[in-house]
Chain A
Amino acid sequence: MKTHAIALAAGVLFGFGLALSHMADPNKVLAFLDILGGWDPSLALVMGGALAVFMPGFAWLRRRSRPWIGDTFHLPARGMIDRRLLGGAALFGLGWGLAGYCPGPALAALTFNPREAVMFLAAMIAGGLLPRLAGLPSRLRRRRMYQR
């Protein structure tokens, strides 16, 4: 129950932040990514603001062995920088720049632009199933315990 309450509260903060920052506005995203002519640099400050909190916070968390709830920090494995990572990131960026949505903002846009958001999210879920249809192994479960 506490797990759900914390996840819900974090989600509310996250979604409110996406809306307040206008990261959820696809035209704002396109105006940030399109560097030709008039350029809107605002969204660089979204990432900057998020890192200004998360980076020192993570450094502080490293000294703890476990979260408030649960036994371990679930952190992604320190894997290789391989073609799958870079190719995936390249495709993701292309999709991001073609409509102005990444996953979080698309969910936030359900509340003010449901037509586009539903279409985008349905296509995104379908796109996420393609590797499995092609027989590629899943990497979703590749996690390791965090050790200090």
Chain B
Amino acid sequence: MPAPFAAIVDFTPATALAGGLLIGLAALLLLAGIGRIAGISGMVHGLVAGEGGGWRLSFLLGLVAGAGLYVTLWPADLPARQGFPTLMVVVAGLLVGLGTRLGSGCTSGHGVCGIGRLSPRSLAATAVFMATGVIAAVVLRHGLGIGP
């Protein structure tokens, strides 16, 4: 088993930081503009549960359109992943759906908006999902030999 943090690879700080700034700006715009938290899992679960407020649908459609704009401008930059096991995608989706519903949030709602508000719940949730995310990715790639 390779040692942790043995080398830094594929580091893209400029685009990661620039994208992060845009995400923060988007979350701030949503809160300042219409008083809503940019929590993606909460929006999806809320829509499925039939909660009112078409703002959720508008935001999610905008999200897809924004990603689509980038992919249209630079189509080669985000290639489709090939050969990843379908079963793993489905199991992962079930876990993410169940976990975000029980835990009331995901990377955006807890990781950005919650931590940005210094919410103790979100700090705790983020620490936990980062930890189990690391465990799952390590097991996936080194234990099961799946992924690049």
Residues of A within 8 A of B (CB): 3-31, 33-55, 57-58, 61, 64, 66-70, 72-76, 78-81, 84-104, 106-116, 119-131, 136, 138-141
Query: Is A88 touching B34 in the complex (CB atoms < 8 A)?
Result: no
CB distance from B128 to the nearest CB of A (A): 4
CA of A16 to CA of B25, assembled, Å: 11
Interface of A is mostly: helix
Q: A15-B65, A22-B19, A119-B86 are in contact. Are A84 and B54 (CB under 8 A)?
A: no
25 residue pairs bridging A and B, Cβ less than 8 Å apart: A13-B62, A16-B66, A17-B66, A34-B138, A35-B5, A37-B7, A39-B8, A42-B10, A45-B13, A51-B116, A67-B31, A76-B109, A84-B102, A85-B121, A91-B98, A93-B130, A93-B133, A95-B92, A103-B41, A111-B71, A120-B90, A123-B97, A127-B93, A128-B100, A130-B98
Residues of chain A within 8 A of B111, CB atoms compared? 47
CB distance from A21 to the nearest CB of B (A): 2
